[in-house]
A and B are shown apart, each in its own frame.
Chain A
Protein backbone atom coordinates (compact mmCIF):
# COMPACT_ATOMS: atom_id res chain seq x y z
CA UNK A 1 0.00 0.00 0.00
CA UNK A 2 2.70 2.46 0.99
CA UNK A 3 4.48 1.75 -2.26
CA UNK A 4 1.57 3.00 -4.31
CA UNK A 5 1.29 6.20 -2.28
CA UNK A 6 4.79 7.13 -3.43
CA UNK A 7 3.49 7.42 -6.97
CA UNK A 8 2.86 11.00 -7.89
CA UNK A 9 -0.64 11.79 -9.18
CA UNK A 10 0.73 14.70 -11.18
CA UNK A 11 2.57 12.24 -13.44
CA UNK A 12 -0.34 9.88 -13.85
CA UNK A 13 -0.62 10.32 -17.60
CA UNK A 14 1.40 9.23 -20.62
CA UNK A 15 1.82 12.79 -21.95
CA UNK A 16 2.93 14.14 -18.58
CA UNK A 17 5.44 11.35 -18.16
CA UNK A 18 6.67 12.18 -21.64
CA UNK A 19 7.02 15.91 -20.97
CA UNK A 20 8.99 15.24 -17.79
CA UNK A 21 11.18 12.61 -19.48
CA UNK A 22 12.14 15.03 -22.23
CA UNK A 23 12.84 17.89 -19.84
CA UNK A 24 14.94 15.71 -17.54
CA UNK A 25 17.52 15.10 -20.28
CA UNK A 26 17.29 18.40 -22.16
CA UNK A 27 18.18 21.84 -20.85
CA UNK A 28 14.92 23.11 -22.27
CA UNK A 29 12.35 22.17 -24.88
CA UNK A 30 10.11 24.23 -27.09
CA UNK A 31 6.40 23.59 -27.40
CA UNK A 32 6.72 22.23 -30.93
CA UNK A 33 9.54 19.92 -29.94
CA UNK A 34 7.37 18.44 -27.20
CA UNK A 35 4.51 18.12 -29.64
CA UNK A 36 6.59 16.25 -32.22
CA UNK A 37 8.25 13.95 -29.72
CA UNK A 38 5.02 13.02 -27.98
CA UNK A 39 2.67 13.08 -30.93
CA UNK A 40 0.13 15.14 -29.01
CA UNK A 41 -2.33 17.76 -30.24
CA UNK A 42 -1.90 21.44 -29.30
CA UNK A 43 -4.80 21.53 -26.88
CA UNK A 44 -3.98 18.23 -25.23
CA UNK A 45 -0.34 19.11 -24.72
CA UNK A 46 -1.19 22.62 -23.47
CA UNK A 47 -3.48 21.31 -20.76
CA UNK A 48 -0.89 18.85 -19.48
CA UNK A 49 1.83 21.47 -19.59
CA UNK A 50 -0.39 23.79 -17.58
CA UNK A 51 -0.98 21.14 -14.94
CA UNK A 52 2.75 20.54 -14.50
CA UNK A 53 3.34 24.27 -14.45
CA UNK A 54 0.74 24.69 -11.73
CA UNK A 55 2.47 22.06 -9.61
CA UNK A 56 5.67 24.09 -10.16
CA UNK A 57 7.39 21.09 -11.66
CA UNK A 58 8.24 22.93 -14.86
CA UNK A 59 8.93 26.57 -15.61
CA UNK A 60 7.90 28.47 -18.69
CA UNK A 61 9.84 31.15 -20.45
CA UNK A 62 8.12 33.17 -23.14
CA UNK A 63 10.11 35.25 -25.56
CA UNK A 64 10.10 36.49 -29.11
CA UNK A 65 12.44 35.30 -31.82
CA UNK A 66 12.02 38.06 -34.35
CA UNK A 67 8.26 38.44 -34.41
CA UNK A 68 7.44 34.87 -33.60
CA UNK A 69 6.46 34.04 -30.04
CA UNK A 70 8.53 31.21 -28.66
CA UNK A 71 7.86 29.25 -25.50
CA UNK A 72 10.55 27.30 -23.72
CA UNK A 73 9.91 24.83 -20.97
CA UNK A 74 12.41 23.54 -18.48
CA UNK A 75 12.16 21.39 -15.39
CA UNK A 76 12.41 23.00 -11.93
CA UNK A 77 14.44 21.65 -9.04
CA UNK A 78 11.20 20.59 -7.37
CA UNK A 79 10.08 18.82 -10.53
CA UNK A 80 13.39 16.96 -10.85
CA UNK A 81 13.12 15.63 -7.31
CA UNK A 82 9.47 14.72 -7.68
CA UNK A 83 10.09 12.89 -10.94
CA UNK A 84 13.04 10.97 -9.52
CA UNK A 85 10.89 9.86 -6.60
CA UNK A 86 8.18 8.81 -9.02
CA UNK A 87 10.61 6.70 -11.06
CA UNK A 88 12.02 5.12 -7.90
CA UNK A 89 8.49 4.24 -6.84
CA UNK A 90 7.76 2.72 -10.24
CA UNK A 91 10.92 0.65 -10.14
CA UNK A 92 10.15 -0.64 -6.67
CA UNK A 93 6.68 -1.64 -7.79
CA UNK A 94 8.14 -3.66 -10.64
CA UNK A 95 10.61 -5.42 -8.41
CA UNK A 96 8.08 -6.33 -5.74
CA UNK A 97 4.84 -7.26 -7.42
Chain B
Protein backbone atom coordinates (compact mmCIF):
# COMPACT_ATOMS: atom_id res chain seq x y z
CA UNK B 1 0.00 0.00 0.00
CA UNK B 2 2.89 2.33 0.81
CA UNK B 3 4.53 1.77 -2.54
CA UNK B 4 1.28 2.69 -4.28
CA UNK B 5 1.58 6.13 -2.67
CA UNK B 6 5.14 6.55 -3.90
CA UNK B 7 4.00 5.66 -7.39
CA UNK B 8 1.34 8.37 -7.15
CA UNK B 9 4.00 10.83 -6.02
CA UNK B 10 6.22 10.06 -8.98
CA UNK B 11 3.44 10.28 -11.53
CA UNK B 12 2.20 13.53 -10.01
CA UNK B 13 5.73 14.99 -10.16
CA UNK B 14 5.97 14.03 -13.81
CA UNK B 15 2.57 15.42 -14.71
CA UNK B 16 3.24 18.73 -12.91
CA UNK B 17 6.62 19.06 -14.60
CA UNK B 18 5.02 18.54 -18.00
CA UNK B 19 2.04 20.75 -17.33
CA UNK B 20 4.09 23.64 -15.98
CA UNK B 21 6.71 23.70 -18.73
CA UNK B 22 5.02 22.35 -21.84
CA UNK B 23 1.98 23.35 -23.80
CA UNK B 24 0.10 20.10 -24.27
CA UNK B 25 -3.08 21.15 -26.04
CA UNK B 26 -1.87 21.02 -29.64
CA UNK B 27 -4.65 19.54 -31.70
CA UNK B 28 -4.00 16.51 -33.88
CA UNK B 29 -7.01 17.31 -36.01
CA UNK B 30 -5.45 20.63 -37.06
CA UNK B 31 -2.45 18.66 -38.35
CA UNK B 32 -4.73 16.51 -40.49
CA UNK B 33 -6.51 19.57 -41.89
CA UNK B 34 -3.21 21.37 -42.55
CA UNK B 35 -2.10 18.33 -44.55
CA UNK B 36 -5.34 18.34 -46.55
CA UNK B 37 -5.02 22.08 -47.31
CA UNK B 38 -1.44 21.46 -48.45
CA UNK B 39 -2.56 18.68 -50.80
CA UNK B 40 -5.39 20.77 -52.25
CA UNK B 41 -3.02 23.73 -52.66
CA UNK B 42 -0.39 21.54 -54.32
CA UNK B 43 -2.97 20.08 -56.72
CA UNK B 44 -4.18 23.58 -57.64
CA UNK B 45 -0.61 24.80 -58.19
CA UNK B 46 0.18 21.72 -60.28
CA UNK B 47 -2.88 22.31 -62.44
CA UNK B 48 -2.07 26.00 -62.93
CA UNK B 49 1.55 25.36 -63.90
CA UNK B 50 0.68 22.36 -66.07
CA UNK B 51 -1.95 24.19 -68.09
CA UNK B 52 0.10 27.38 -68.44
CA UNK B 53 1.72 28.08 -71.80
CA UNK B 54 5.20 27.25 -70.53
CA UNK B 55 4.37 24.17 -68.52
CA UNK B 56 6.98 24.94 -65.87
CA UNK B 57 7.50 27.54 -63.17
CA UNK B 58 9.58 30.69 -63.49
CA UNK B 59 9.92 33.35 -60.84
CA UNK B 60 8.35 36.21 -62.73
CA UNK B 61 4.84 36.38 -64.04
CA UNK B 62 1.24 35.54 -63.27
CA UNK B 63 1.76 31.80 -62.83
CA UNK B 64 4.33 32.33 -60.13
CA UNK B 65 2.17 34.91 -58.41
CA UNK B 66 -0.76 32.47 -58.42
CA UNK B 67 1.38 29.71 -56.90
CA UNK B 68 2.75 32.09 -54.29
CA UNK B 69 -0.80 33.18 -53.41
CA UNK B 70 -1.81 29.53 -53.02
CA UNK B 71 1.16 28.92 -50.73
CA UNK B 72 0.22 31.90 -48.55
CA UNK B 73 -3.42 30.80 -48.48
CA UNK B 74 -2.46 27.27 -47.40
CA UNK B 75 -0.21 28.65 -44.64
CA UNK B 76 -2.84 31.14 -43.44
CA UNK B 77 -5.64 28.56 -43.43
CA UNK B 78 -3.46 26.06 -41.56
CA UNK B 79 -2.50 28.64 -38.93
CA UNK B 80 -6.10 29.78 -38.43
CA UNK B 81 -7.36 26.21 -38.15
CA UNK B 82 -4.53 25.42 -35.74
CA UNK B 83 -5.33 28.39 -33.53
CA UNK B 84 -9.06 27.64 -33.52
CA UNK B 85 -8.77 23.91 -32.72
CA UNK B 86 -5.97 24.41 -30.20
CA UNK B 87 -7.95 27.08 -28.34
CA UNK B 88 -10.89 24.71 -28.21
CA UNK B 89 -8.75 21.88 -26.88
CA UNK B 90 -7.00 24.10 -24.35
CA UNK B 91 -10.39 25.17 -23.00
CA UNK B 92 -11.39 21.55 -22.63
CA UNK B 93 -8.12 20.72 -20.86
CA UNK B 94 -8.41 23.78 -18.62
CA UNK B 95 -5.12 24.99 -20.02
CA UNK B 96 -4.58 28.66 -20.76
CA UNK B 97 -4.08 29.42 -24.43
CA UNK B 98 -1.74 32.34 -23.87
CA UNK B 99 0.55 31.68 -20.92
CA UNK B 100 4.27 31.21 -20.42
CA UNK B 101 4.32 27.71 -21.85
CA UNK B 102 2.47 28.57 -25.07
CA UNK B 103 4.49 31.77 -25.52
CA UNK B 104 7.70 29.84 -25.10
CA UNK B 105 6.49 27.20 -27.55
CA UNK B 106 5.56 29.73 -30.21
CA UNK B 107 8.76 31.74 -29.79
CA UNK B 108 11.03 28.71 -30.09
CA UNK B 109 9.05 27.38 -33.05
CA UNK B 110 9.33 30.69 -34.87
CA UNK B 111 13.09 31.21 -34.54
CA UNK B 112 14.17 28.53 -37.07
CA UNK B 113 11.01 29.03 -39.15
CA UNK B 114 11.41 32.78 -39.65
CA UNK B 115 15.16 32.36 -40.22
CA UNK B 116 14.39 29.83 -42.96
CA UNK B 117 11.64 31.98 -44.45
CA UNK B 118 13.89 35.01 -44.74
CA UNK B 119 16.74 32.89 -46.13
CA UNK B 120 14.47 31.39 -48.79
CA UNK B 121 13.25 34.83 -49.84
CA UNK B 122 16.87 36.00 -50.11
CA UNK B 123 17.98 33.15 -52.36
CA UNK B 124 14.80 33.39 -54.45
CA UNK B 125 15.77 36.99 -55.00
CA UNK B 126 19.16 35.79 -56.21
CA UNK B 127 17.31 33.59 -58.72
CA UNK B 128 18.34 30.31 -57.17
CA UNK B 129 15.12 28.36 -57.07
CA UNK B 130 16.24 24.74 -57.05
CA UNK B 131 16.59 24.27 -53.31
CA UNK B 132 13.39 26.05 -52.21
CA UNK B 133 11.40 22.93 -51.34
CA UNK B 134 14.39 21.31 -49.61
CA UNK B 135 15.01 24.43 -47.52
CA UNK B 136 11.34 24.74 -46.55
CA UNK B 137 11.33 21.14 -45.34
CA UNK B 138 14.65 21.42 -43.48
CA UNK B 139 13.84 24.65 -41.66
CA UNK B 140 10.32 23.48 -40.84
CA UNK B 141 11.82 20.29 -39.39
CA UNK B 142 14.28 22.28 -37.29
CA UNK B 143 11.42 24.47 -36.05
CA UNK B 144 9.44 21.38 -35.01
CA UNK B 145 12.41 19.88 -33.17
CA UNK B 146 13.04 23.14 -31.36
CA UNK B 147 9.35 23.36 -30.42
CA UNK B 148 9.20 19.76 -29.22
CA UNK B 149 11.00 20.70 -26.00
CA UNK B 150 8.05 22.89 -25.08
CA UNK B 151 5.15 20.73 -26.20
CA UNK B 152 4.23 17.16 -27.01
CA UNK B 153 7.59 15.42 -27.34
CA UNK B 154 6.31 13.42 -30.33
CA UNK B 155 6.62 16.45 -32.59
CA UNK B 156 10.34 15.77 -32.54
CA UNK B 157 9.92 12.71 -34.77
CA UNK B 158 7.90 14.63 -37.33
CA UNK B 159 10.72 17.20 -37.31
CA UNK B 160 13.33 14.51 -37.94
CA UNK B 161 11.29 13.12 -40.83
CA UNK B 162 10.89 16.58 -42.40
CA UNK B 163 14.65 17.20 -42.14
CA UNK B 164 15.37 13.80 -43.70
CA UNK B 165 12.95 14.53 -46.55
CA UNK B 166 14.52 17.96 -46.99
CA UNK B 167 18.05 16.58 -47.27
CA UNK B 168 16.95 13.90 -49.75
CA UNK B 169 15.11 16.57 -51.70
CA UNK B 170 18.30 18.64 -51.86
CA UNK B 171 19.89 15.83 -53.92
CA UNK B 172 17.06 15.76 -56.45
CA UNK B 173 15.78 19.34 -56.68
CA UNK B 174 13.66 18.52 -59.73
CA UNK B 175 11.43 16.38 -57.50
CA UNK B 176 11.04 19.28 -55.06
CA UNK B 177 7.30 19.51 -55.68
CA UNK B 178 6.72 15.86 -54.78
CA UNK B 179 8.86 16.05 -51.66
CA UNK B 180 6.86 19.10 -50.65
CA UNK B 181 3.61 17.15 -51.17
CA UNK B 182 4.90 14.28 -49.02
CA UNK B 183 6.43 16.48 -46.29
CA UNK B 184 3.71 19.07 -45.86
CA UNK B 185 0.70 17.11 -47.09
CA UNK B 186 0.95 13.42 -46.40
CA UNK B 187 3.21 13.56 -43.33
CA UNK B 188 0.89 16.08 -41.65
CA UNK B 189 -2.10 13.83 -42.27
CA UNK B 190 -0.30 10.70 -41.01
CA UNK B 191 1.09 12.52 -38.01
CA UNK B 192 -2.10 14.41 -37.18
CA UNK B 193 -4.05 11.14 -37.28
CA UNK B 194 -1.57 9.49 -34.93
CA UNK B 195 -1.70 12.46 -32.50
CA UNK B 196 -5.47 12.59 -32.73
CA UNK B 197 -5.85 8.99 -31.64
CA UNK B 198 -3.05 9.17 -29.07
CA UNK B 199 -4.13 12.37 -27.28
CA UNK B 200 -7.41 13.85 -28.49
CA UNK B 201 -9.50 10.73 -28.17
CA UNK B 202 -8.79 10.37 -24.47
Contacts and interface: CB of A to CB of B under 8 A. Distances in A.
A22 B10 CA distance: 13
Contact of A26 (B3, B9, B12, B21): B21
* Interface SS, B side: helix
* Interface size classification for chain A: 10 to 19
Given A14-B12, A17-B12, A17-B13, A37 B6 contact: no
Nearest to B3: A97
A37 B100 contact: no
B52 interface: no
A55 B4 CA distance: 28
Given A33-B100, A97-B3, A21 B10 contact: no
B7 interface: yes
A24 B17 contact: yes
A25 B21 contact: yes
A93 B17 contact: no
B185 to A, nearest CB: 35
A84 to B, nearest CB: 11
B91 interface: no
A86 B129 CA distance: 56
B10 A26 contact: no
B17 A90 contact: no
Nearest to B22: A25
A44 B177 CA distance: 59
Given A29-B20, A93-B2, 7 more contacts: A22-B16, A22-B20, A37-B16, A38-B16, A90-B6, A90-B9, A93-B6
28 contacts: A17-B9, A18-B16, A21-B17, A21-B20, A22-B17, A22-B20, A22-B21, A24-B17, A25-B17, A25-B21, A26-B21, A29-B20, A33-B100, A37-B16, A37-B19, A37-B20, A38-B16, A90-B6, A90-B9, A90-B10, A93-B2, A93-B3, A93-B6, A94-B3, A94-B6, A94-B7, A94-B10, A97-B3
